[in-house]
Amino acid sequence: MAEAPKAEDITHLPTDQLQGLEYCIDSNPSWGEAIALGFQHYILSLGTAVMIPTFLVPLMGAVVGGSWAFMVPIISIIHDPSLASIVDSHMRFLATMRAIQGALIVASSVQIILGYSQLWAICSRFFSPVGMVPVIALAGFGLFDRGFPVVGRCVEFGIPMLILFVTFSQYLKQFQAKQLPLLERFALLLTIAVIWAYAHLLTASGAYKHHSEQTQMHCRTDKADLISSAPWIKIPYPLQWGAPTFEMGHAFGMMAAVLVSLVEGIGILLSGLFGTATGSTVSVENVGLLGSTRVGSRRVIQISAGFMIFFSILGKFGALFASIPFPIFAAVYCVLFGLVASVGLSFLQFTNMNSMRNLFIVGVSFFLGLSIPEYFREYTAGALHGPSHTKAEWFNDFLNTIFFSSPTVALMVSVFLDNTLEFKDSAKDRGMPWWAKFRAFKGDSRNEEFYTLPFNLN
C-alpha cells in the first residue's frame, strides 16, 4: 500500500511577502540599472497615458497619465448640449477642457476629505483578505478587453510581441550578462525595440497600403501627424486652458469616477489644475511590471517619473515614443494584467478555502464583478447610453460610472457579504489574524519602513 504523503509535501506555508524579489522598496539597484528600469516603466506607461487622452480629446498635445474610470463622466461632459452647441471647434475644445478641469477639482475633494479626516480608515475596518481577493484580482481581470481584443486588431506583430515577451521574461530569464539577468529584467524594452522595428518594416514595405483606415490606424508606425503636430517644447502650467468652469452636474458624475479610483486625491486635484483630460490612479500595468522584473525599488519609480516629466516637456520626443502601435502594449498587458490578478488571488492563502462561506463570497463577488459591468457595457453599446437614463444627467453618470468598474462592483458585493454572513464566528477563516497587524501603523515593522513620510511629516 502506498505511503500517505507528508504534510510538508502538499502544503505551502503562507508568506507575507512575495519570494524572489531582487529589490524591495528601500533597496536599490545600481544607478545604470535603475535608469534603464525607470525608462522601461515610462515606455509602458505610454500605452494608457496616450490611449486615453487621444481617444477622449484628439486635440490634446501633451502626454498625460489617466484612469479609465473617468471615461463615462468625461464623455458625458464632451456631449453636454451646452458645450456641443458651440460652433467654433477650438472654442468648444477650450470650454470642454475648462468644464473637465472644474469637475476634477471639485471631485478631488472627496478623496482629500476621506483621507485627511480618517474616514477611509474607518471604512477599511470592514475589509478582510477574503473580501479583497475579488477586488484586487478584478483590477487585472476586469481589464481583459484591453488585452487580446486590442492585440487582434493587428495580429501581425501583436501575437509575436506576446510570444517574445513571455519567452524573454520567463523561459530565458536565466540568461545573464555580467551577473545581471538581462532578459528577465529588460524583457519589455528589448521586445518593444524588436517588434517596433518589425512593425516599421511592415509599414515601410507598404503592407498596409490597401487596408482599411481603421487597420492603418492600429498598425502603421508612421504617424507623421502625431509627431509634426507636437511642439518641440511645451511646459504645462496651471489653468492652461483658462479659468475652470464649475457645474454641479459635471462634478457629481466625476465624483463617481473619483470613488472608483480611490487612491489619488491630491493627484486628481493637480490633474484638474493643470488641465489634463482625466484624473489619475495607480497604473495596473506598471504594478504588473514590478512583479515581472522582480524590482520593487522606489528609486526606479522616481526615475521613471523624471522621464515622464522630461519627455512631456519635449513634445517631439514624447510623440515619437507615443507613435508605438497600441497592439504592442496590449500584448504586454495580457501578461501584466494577469500577473496583477494573480497577486489578488494570492490573498487566498491567508483564508480557509475549505469554508463554504468563503467559497460563496469569492465566487459570487467574482461573477457579479465581471457580469454586471459587462451588462452595462453591452447595454451602452446598443442604446448609446447607460442603463441609468433619467433626466438627471449627474445621476446617470454617477450610477453608470460605478457599475462600469469591475473592482468597484466586486468591492460592494464582497464587503457586504463578508460583513453579513456569519462574520462574528469566522474571523480566522476570513484571514483577520494576519490582516490585523497591517491595520495599525505600529502593527508591523514593515509599516513604518514602507510608509513613513520624509522629514518626519507623519
Structure confidence by residue, pLDDT tens digits, 102-147: 888 888 888 788 877 878 778 888 889 999 999 989 988 988 888 9
pLDDT category at 60 given cuts 50, 70, 90 is: very low
- 276 contact partners, CB below 8 Å, separation of at least 6: 53, 62, 64, 65, 66, 104
Q: What's the pLDDT band for 18 if we cut at 50, 70, 90?
A: low
Q: In the structure, what pLDDT confidence band is assigned to residue 296 with cuts at 50, 70 and 90?
A: confident
- Tell me the C-alpha distance between 278 and 272, whole Å: 8
Residue 290's CB is within 10 A of a number of other CB atoms, namely 22
pLDDT at 224 (0 to 100): 57
Are the C-beta atoms of 351 and 414 separated by less than 8 Å?
A: no
Distance of CA 309 to the CA centre of its chain: 19
Question: What amino acid occupies position 219?
Answer: C
Cell digits of residue 297: 525599488
**H/E stretch holding 73:** helix 71-78
- pLDDT surpasses 60 at 35: yes
State residue 159's pLDDT score.
95
DSSP 8-state code for residue 171? I
Residue 453 confidence (pLDDT): 65
Lowest model confidence (mean pLDDT) among 60-74, 206-220, 376-390, 404-418: 60-74
Q: What are 231's strand-pairing partners?
A: none
Pick the most confident of 5-14, 152-161, 223-232.
152-161
Q: Which residues contact 285 (CB under 8 A, 6 or more apart)?
A: 44, 45, 47, 48, 329, 332, 333, 336, 337
Say what the pLDDT of residue 162 is.
96
Using only C-alpha atoms, the chain has a radius of gyration, in whole angstroms, of: 23
96: three-class secondary structure by DSSP: helix
Q: Is pLDDT at 238 greater than 80 in this prediction?
A: yes
Q: What is the mean pLDDT of residues 12-22?
A: 70
The residue with cell 463615462 is 72
Whether 102 contacts 244, CB under 8 Å: yes
**Per-residue CA distances from 78 to 81, 99, 100 (Å):** 9, 9, 9
Estimate the crossing angle of helix 89-116 against helix 248-260, to 10 degrees. Answer: 50
Nearest to 412, CA basis, from 137, 139, 132, 140: 132
pLDDT(186) > 50: yes
- Cα gap 296→23, rounded to integer Å: 6
Instruction: Name the residue type at position 171.
Output: Y
d(C-alpha 366, C-alpha 374), whole Å: 13
Q: Minimal CA–CA distance to 135: which of 374, 340, 434?
A: 340
Tell which wins on pLDDT, 58 or 357.
357
Single out the residue of 101, 19, 79 nearest to residue 380, CA to CA: 79
Per-residue pLDDT at 413? 95
Going by pLDDT thresholds of 50, 70 and 90, the confidence category of residue 443 is low
What is the spatial distance between Cα 100 and Cα 278, in angstroms, rounded to a whole number? 8
Tens-digit pLDDT profile for residues 335-352: 988 998 998 898 898 899
Helix (H) or strand (E) holding 105: helix 89-116
Mean pLDDT to the nearest integer, 259-267:
60
What percentage of residues in the chain have a pLDDT greater than 90?
Answer: 24
Q: What phi and psi, each to the nearest 5 degrees, are found at residue 295? A: -125, 110
Residue 378 has pLDDT above 60, yes or no: yes
Whether pLDDT at 314 is above 90? no
Output the pLDDT for position 64.
35
The dihedral through the CA atoms of 306, 49, 338, 400 has a sign that is positive
Name every residue whose Cβ is closer than 8 Å to that of residue 70 and which is 6 or more positions away in sequence: 254, 257, 261, 278, 279
Whole-angstrom distance, CA of residue 107 vs CA of residue 258: 6
- Predicted model pTM: 0.82
Mean pLDDT in the chain? 81
Model pLDDT, residue 5: 63
Least confident stretch, 78-87, 179-188, 223-232: 223-232
Residues across the chain: 458
Res 273: pLDDT: 63
How big, in percent rounded to 5, are the helix, strand and coil portions of the chain?
Answer: 65, 0, 30
Angle at 369 between CA 55 and CA 259, to 5 degrees: 60
Cell (9 digits) for 308: 515622464
Question: 23: helix, coil or strand?
Answer: strand
Q: What mean pLDDT comes out for the span 436-458?
A: 68
Cα dihedral 59→60→63→67 (10° resolution): -100
Number of Cβ atoms within 10 Å of the Cβ of 80: 17
Cβ–Cβ < 8 Å for 379, 43? no
Contact 438, 367 (CB under 8 A): no
Report d(CA 260, CA 332) in Å as an integer: 24
Ranges of beta strands (E only) in 312-414 are: none
Does the structure show a pLDDT above 70 at 61?
no
**Mean local confidence (pLDDT), 171-198:** 88
At 26, the pLDDT band (50, 70, 90 cuts) reads confident
Residue 115 has which C-alpha cell? 483621507
- The CA-atom distances, in angstroms, between 361 and each of 357, 358, 368 are 6, 5, 11
Average pLDDT rounded to a whole number, residues 174-180 = 81
